């Protein structure tokens, strides 16, 4: 993948940046190309070797026509419930390191949902804040919407997500309470057998 000046890119664990320059630098006698990135969150400059972009996970920011898909993913009602803190933290940490906005959305949904039922640890609270910032800042930069507006839309999408999950769980619980067709058939067969047995007994006594 090759980037050009002005491209919006995502640098894992740093967030969204803009390629301001592509230049050669000589370090310890070795000359190689570098992307000079201005990081949006901190307004700092970061140099990334051109030959290392795959190993560090540098990627192009999403396009404007993908924004709708991201909001739908936020609201789709699919949430991973990891009860074990250690496993949950590892999974979420791996997703955040990937640099994928889809992974950041999953972390945002999972931890926001969890925070509604229990207090998050300091490390998970910090991860939640980071995931939301990554999602909001990338959408805001690409769509040219104020971060506050994007933040509000993300919150509304999360509310729809949790409502959808609650409806799905309620429907599943209702289905679990209803007797299955097999159960109904079995009960009917048993009732019929008992009725037949009673008729046979009466016929024997009458004779």
76 with 24, same domain? Answer: no
Pair (28, 71) in one structural domain = no
pLDDT tens track for 128-173: 999 999 999 999 988 989 999 999 999 999 999 999 999 988 888 8
Nearest residue to 1 via CA among 63, 57, 77, 72: 57
Same domain, 53 and 81: no
pTM over 0.85: no
In a domain, 46, yes or no: yes
Are 100 and 132 members of one domain?
yes
Tokens of 98: 């990937």
Give me the domain span that covers residue 19.
8-60
133: domain CATH number?
A: 1.20.58.1290
Residue 129 to residues 87, 89, 133, 151, 169: CA-CA distances in angstroms?
19, 14, 6, 12, 27
Q: Could you tell me the CA-to-CA distances from 139 to 28, 41, 48, 85 in Å, in that order?
A: 39, 13, 23, 29
Mean pLDDT of 24-42: 86
């Amino acid at each position: 993948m090759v980037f050009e000046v002005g491209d919006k890119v995502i640098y894992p664990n740093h967030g969204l940046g803009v390629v301001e320059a592509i230049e050669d630098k000589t370090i310890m006698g070795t000359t190689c190309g570098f992307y000079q990135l201005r990081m949006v969150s901190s307004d700092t400059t970061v140099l990334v070797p051109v030959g290392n972009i795959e190993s560090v996970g540098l990627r192009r920011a999403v396009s404007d026509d993908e924004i709708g898909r991201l909001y739908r993913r936020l609201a789709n009602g699919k949430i991973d419930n990891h009860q074990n803190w250690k496993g949950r933290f590892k999974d979420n940490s791996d997703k955040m390191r990937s640099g994928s906005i889809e992974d950041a959305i999953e972390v945002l949904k999972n931890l926001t949902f969890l925070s509604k039922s229990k207090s998050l640890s300091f490390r998970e609270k910090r991860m939640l804040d980071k995931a939301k910032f990554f999602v909001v800042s990338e959408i805001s930069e690409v769509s040219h919407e104020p971060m506050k507006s994007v933040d509000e839309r993300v919150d509304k999408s999360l509310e729809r997500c949790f409502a959808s999950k609650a409806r799905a769980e309620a429907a599943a619980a209702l289905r679990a309470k209803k007797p299955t067709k097999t159960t109904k058939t079995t009960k009917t067969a048993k009732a019929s057998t008992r009725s037949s047995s009673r008729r046979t007994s009466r016929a024997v006594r009458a004779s």
